[in-house]
Amino acid sequence: MTISADILRDLTDAQLEAVTHRQGPMLVVAGAGSGKTRVVTRRIAYLIAQGTRPDQILAMTFTNKAANEMKERVATLVGIAPRNVGTFHSCCARFLRQDIERLKDGRNRQYTIYDSSDQNTLLKHCLKDLNLRSSDCSPNDVAQVISRAKTQRQDIVEYIHNQCRYDADTYEKVAIAYETRLRQQNAVDFDDLLLLTAKILSEYPIVREMYQARFKYLLIDEYQDTNHLQYDLMKLLCGEEQNVHATGDPDQSIYSWRGADYTNIMNFTSDFPDARIVRLEQNYRSTQCIIHAANELIHQNAFRLDKDLFTENEIGSPIRVISVPDEASEALWLCRRISELCTEGHSLRDMAVFYRTNGQSRSLEDGFMRMGIPYQVVGNLRFYDRKEIKDLLAFLRLKCNPADLVSLQRVVTCLNCGVGPKNLAALVATAEQHAMPVFDLLCRDDFAALFGKNPAWAQHFCQWCRALRALPDQPVDEVIAAVLEHSGLMQNIIAKDDNADDRVENIHELLAQVKSFVTNHGDCTLIDYLQEVSLISDLDTYDSEADYVSLMTLHCAKGLEFPFVFITGVEEGYLPHQHSVNTANGIEEERRLFYVGLTRAKAEVTVLFARGRFTWTGSDQREPSRFLAELPEEVVQQQIFKHRQAPPNHRRGANHFGYSS
Positions annotated as catalytic residues are 36-37, 221-222, 252, 600
The contacts of residue 324 (CB under 8 Å, 6+ apart) are 330, 333, 608, 609, 610, 611, 641, 643
> What values do phi and psi take at 606, rounded to 5?
-125, 130
Q: Determine contact, residues 495/533, Cβ cutoff 8 Å.
A: no
Give 560's strand partners. Answer: none
> What values do phi and psi take at 634, rounded to 5?
-70, -15
Q: Determine contact, residues 309/294, Cβ cutoff 8 Å.
A: yes
Q: Determine contact, residues 311/625, Cβ cutoff 8 Å.
A: no
Using CA atoms, how far apart are residues 504 and 392, in angstroms rounded to an integer? Answer: 12
DSSP 127-147: HHHTT--TTTS-HHHHHHHHH
Give 59's strand partners. Answer: 85, 219
Using CA atoms, how far apart are residues 461 and 446, in angstroms rounded to an integer? Answer: 13
Q: Determine contact, residues 639/601, Cβ cutoff 8 Å.
A: no
Using CA atoms, how far apart are residues 309 and 299, in angstroms rounded to an integer? Answer: 11
Using CA atoms, how far apart are residues 366 and 199, in angstroms rounded to an integer? Answer: 49
> What values do phi and psi take at 452, rounded to 5?
70, -95
Give 86's strand partners. Answer: 60
Q: How many residues does the chain have?
A: 661
Give all strands (DSSP E) within 108-260, no chain letters: 112-114, 187-189, 217-220, 244-248
